[in-house]
Chain A
Amino acid sequence: MAEEPKETLRKRLGGLEQMPSIPVALAPLLRYLEQPLESLDVQQVVDLISADKSLTAQCLHMANSPLFGRSQTTDSIRGAVLALGMQRMRDIAISCSVLQITPNGSASLDPTVFWEHSMGCALVCRRFAKRVGFKNPEKAYLAGLLHDLGILVNLWVLPKEFGAAFELARTRHIPLHEAECSTLGLTHCDSGRMLAEQWQLTPELIEIISFHHDVKNGTSDRANLALVSLSDLLCRMSGLGHGFVEERQIDFLDEPAFALLSQECPSLKAFDWARLTFELEGYVDEVHRLVALLYRPK
């Protein structure tokens, strides 16, 4: 059990004092990218990304990865924006920005593994959303990328306590949120919610971060919430989880998130889960390669 009672942990989390803020150079870019896509100016985005050398290099790595569907190598941000389009470039810029608040290292969950899971989940969400006919699959990408934000909070604010939860999950081969719940009395969903609210993310994103392990509590974009929940589970079952094997057997049709998503997407009943799983296997190596390029702890 945790050395500190749940309420004390909550207080420590509530302060979020140890959390780094988004790097200064990135704030104007993220603010600008919050505007509707059609009102964004290519040159403005190019200038804002180019203002940060590290971000520029990271964006180019991502833009040149087959995972982002580029058709030819580009060595300029302008080229990347023109080749991939503004929406995809926004995803890339946000991915790289959030990557910069990862802790240097951890005695428990390796931050590289965390990012591999987040990026893998984002890519599965986008592919899955396209397959079931979501109007805006990029929205699913962002939700997939950020769904486990609370793990970062736990790594920063509760490293020791989270370490114990992680160890329990790793040795018992159980899902991380179950181990957090029994060890800390709260999960990364609770801590993620606090950061998401502080960052003033959209209500839909806050719900996805808060309820991706408990989808029945969702009220706003329930289809996206269910889709992220299923994609997260698929990643964890396919070698892109939290760095340990969850020893369990899953029938996706029995998942509460499946029932929820089916209400919104009738096509899901005939969905080819096997193909999505095999496609994910095809990402794994590239996700490892890309995260190794993007994320280099000091």
Chain B
Amino acid sequence: MGSAASVKKPEPALAPPDPQLLRIRDLVYQVAGIFQPDNKLRLLDDRCSKRMQVLGVGSLREYYECLTVKPIRQAELVALLNEITIGETCFFRNQPQLEALRNIVIPQILEARVKLPLRHLRLWSAACSTGEEPYTLSMLLLEESAGRLKGWTFEILATDLNERSIAQAKHGIYGDYSTRNVTSYFRQKYFMERGENLHVRPEVQAHVNFSRLNFLDDARMAFMKGLDLIMCCNALIYFDGASKRRVIQHFYNNLLPHGYLFLGHSESLYGVSDDFRLVHLPSATAYMKRDKRVVAR
């Protein structure tokens, strides 16, 4: 039976969140589509404090003004978003998302693909940064190659706006920070040791094609056809509403009818596009194309 007889005093409570911080949280969600849940508010507070120091701003109220009414607002929002997403790039970044991909999404895609003639999967890591995400996908699919994906081939398109990131990604050499989530199993199977660094094995690299891409380059975006899955983490948050809608329209056209779109952790398309429907997977969310023939609910 529950008993708290030994508990004399309540634990000291955390300070309640500053209402100005909640306003900033809501603003960031509304403008950028990335949400900071209550357990990340302290982190958001730290990030805001950092930016406030740079700007010489004394209060969150003043900082909110910097994000909304001052001429610097757009640049400042980008600076804050950079702070929020800093250090997020690493191998096996979002475990629940990857588990769902492996256990639910891939089987669903294969089922849908049975009707198509080619036993080939096409995935796109749309904002691949220095390559950790597409290589993670490649490793996961290689793990399935003797099982569900036996007899299948796959390719991973990996793009980023930043030329230097792409160059680094192609080298496939990573330090401790990027590889902190790599288990010893994956480390031994898919990496080679290079001094203090780890080098992604050629068989992982062979499935990944890197190239530079600007999402606003309509001609090239239109070329990314026939995809089963798009991963686009922490990139759309930097686009204004109109550009975001344009990119999302491309994603819609690029995906096959059964295709999935994965965004970053706590990233949402709410208010951006009705073409996609949100689906819940265990401890993860994704988007699928809404059938436009179905009359709006």
Contacts and interface: CB of A to CB of B under 8 A. Distances in A.
Interface residues of B, number: 44
B197 to A, nearest CB: 33
A272 interface: yes
Interface centre among B2, B14, B108, B268 (most CB of A within 10 A): B2
A33 B104 CA distance: 46
Given A275-B29, A279-B37, A245 B9 contact: no
Contact of B278 (A61, A274, A282): A274
Interface centre among A70, A253, A277 (most CB of B within 10 A): A277
A60 B4 CA distance: 11
B86 interface: no
A199 interface: no
Contacts of B8: 57
Interface string B189-224: 000000000000000000000000000000000000
Interface stretch (A38-46, A183-191, A208-216, A283-291): A283-291
B281 A249 contact: yes
B285 A274 contact: yes
Interface string A254-298: 000000000000000100111101111111111000000111111
A251 B283 contact: no
A295 to B, nearest CB: 5
B192 to A, nearest CB: 33
Contacts of B3: 54, 296, 298
B279 A250 contact: yes
Contact of B10 (A53, A63, A102, A285): A63
Given A65-B13, A284-B39, A274 B270 contact: yes
A100 interface: yes
Given A249-B108, A293-B4, A296-B2, A282 B37 contact: yes
A283 B282 CA distance: 16
A280 B35 CA distance: 12
B9 to A, nearest CB: 6
A281 to B, nearest CB: 5
B103 interface: yes
Interface string B64-107: 00000000000000000000000000000000100100011100
Contact of B279 (A53, A74, A104, A249): A249
* Size category, A interface: 35 or more
Contacts of B12: 73
Nearest to A277: B285
B281 A75 contact: no
Nearest to A269: B297
Contacts of B96: 239
B291 to A, nearest CB: 12
A287 B282 CA distance: 18
A21 to B, nearest CB: 12
Interface string A86-110: 0000000000000111101000000
Given A246-B282, A282-B37, A284-B39, A71 B4 contact: no
A64 interface: yes
Contact of A247 (B266, B270, B279, B282): B282
A239 B103 CA distance: 16
A57 B7 contact: yes
Contacts of A293: 4, 7, 11
9 nearest interchain CB pairs?
Answer: A282-B37, A282-B38, A274-B268, A57-B4, A278-B35, A60-B10, A250-B280, A64-B13, A73-B13
Interface of A: 20, 53-54, 57-58, 60-61, 63-66, 69-75, 99-102, 104, 234, 237-239, 245-253, 269, 272-275, 277-286, 293-298
